[in-house]
Amino acid sequence: MPSFDIRVLLLSGALALATTYSHADTEEYNLKFQSTYVWQVKDAFPAAYSGANSLITAHEKSYSFTTTAAFGFRPWAGGEIYFNPELSQGVPLSNLTGLAGFTNGEMARTSGPRLALYKARLFLRQTWGLGGGSEQQDSDMNQLAGMVDKRRVVWTIGNLAVSDIFDNNAYSHDPRTQFMNWSIMNQGSYDYAADARGYSWGTAVEWYRDNWALRAGRFIQPNQPNQTSLDSAIFTHFGDQIEIEHGHVIANQPGKIRVLAFRNRAIMARYDDALNLAAATSTTPELSAVRHGEQIKYGFGLNAEQSISDNIGVFARAGWGDGQTETYAFTEIDQSVSAGTLLKGAAWGRAQDTLGIAFARNELSKAHRDYLAAGGLGFFIGDGALNYQPELILESFYSWQVAKLLSLTADWQHIRNPAYNADRGPVDMVALRLHTEF
């Protein structure tokens, strides 16, 4: 586990720098910092059988630790440059196999039991104002405080996460402060381009006009599924996405609806090809045996958020992917639905605390489940056989604001049919999350 002395040194040093260089109203530069530690334990659970990529049935413990510094400055009017060095360390449950909806959204950042330093983000953002009045942007990680036009064009290019721009949601998007399950924090079926840590290189353009926003982007894919090495051939192998967003007010409360479409092009294996080869050779189907030539994968998503009152917000997502090719950069979900709510603690005298509850239902395409039923292995799942049922996830958490810059969260997740297998589970997991950000 990370040295306590190292974490204290990082925290105190970053706090001193952030206090020195951050400005409140209009910033020419800032420095933000976050650190998140997640400890998680899984109960033993029943299973009729297990395979090479199954969730281990015995009691298990896991942890993850990340700490990120976010440097930002304005080199010229409308321009912003950001750099995020990140440290990570962690040990996943079952070697990060056996689930589609993994239980810790921070785990993808980690690189094993040794503390590792890497570049998470390095990107340029350029904004062109088009009038229509102005609004204040607050100081935040990778955001400089200042006034911006309500009508504007924003261009981003560099190294960042696709999810920094797309599939945002006010109530479920950040596993460091909100829900931690992969299929709740994002659209589970959105197989967006990323390396194994969740980052990529690419570019996106956003157009804002009053209550509307339209954004489109292209990012590079990994050389192999869920690997850290990225394929720089952005005109050959890529992930494209386009999203339209509309803001509205219902009963004096704000909300947003987003519609997303994505299209990936990479050297990917098709499930039917693996099954056909296995039938012809009397072998177990294997994706690596048919991973040749460019394939197309596409999908769609709907994402909604709505404030009910000053202290209550709800959200819902629904996503669909074609499910004909292997999972390439996110997780093994072809269709997903999730919904939930966040409640601030003002009603019980704890205004800075948050209670959250959400569920997710994850499904596979017929080709995907036929491949697993025949004994095939995906990157994350594969029990050797499959009694298929949708994977069902319930997550609830309570975040206690211990101090102004520090929160402690207790999280519980209940998963039925882990990795879509009714012959295994259910599984219960509890976690404690310690988070600071300033």
Query: Residue 25: inside a domain, yes or no?
Result: no
Query: Residue 14: inside a domain, yes or no?
Result: no
- Domain count for the chain, please give it: 1
Q: pLDDT of 393-418, one tens digit each? A: 999 999 999 999 999 999 999 999 99
Query: Residue 26: inside a domain, yes or no?
Result: no
Output the domain CATH number for residue 348: 2.40.160
Q: Which two tokens stand for residue 2?
A: 């990370």
Q: pLDDT of 177-186, one tens digit each? A: 999 999 999 9
Mean pLDDT of 325-333: 95
Q: Which two tokens stand for residue 36?
A: 């998140």
Residue 150 has pLDDT above 50, yes or no: yes
Residue 23 has pLDDT above 70, yes or no: no
DSSP SS3 for 291: coil
Query: Residue 23: inside a domain, yes or no?
Result: no
Chain mean pLDDT for the chain: 93
Q: Which residues pair with 145 in a beta bridge?
A: none
pLDDT at 108: 78
Query: Residue 55: inside a domain, yes or no?
Result: yes
Percent of the chain with pLDDT over 70: 94
Residue 4 has pLDDT above 70, yes or no: no
Query: Residue 183: inside a domain, yes or no?
Result: yes
What is the residue range of 398's domain? 46-64+93-109+168-437
Angle, helix 271-281 to helix 366-373, in steps of 10 degrees: 30
pLDDT at 16: 41
Residue 18 has pLDDT above 70, yes or no: no
Query: Residue 221: inside a domain, yes or no?
Result: yes
Query: Residue 77: inside a domain, yes or no?
Result: no
- Cβ neighbours around 235 below 10 Å, total: 8
Positive or negative, the CA dihedral 403, 404, 405, 409 is positive
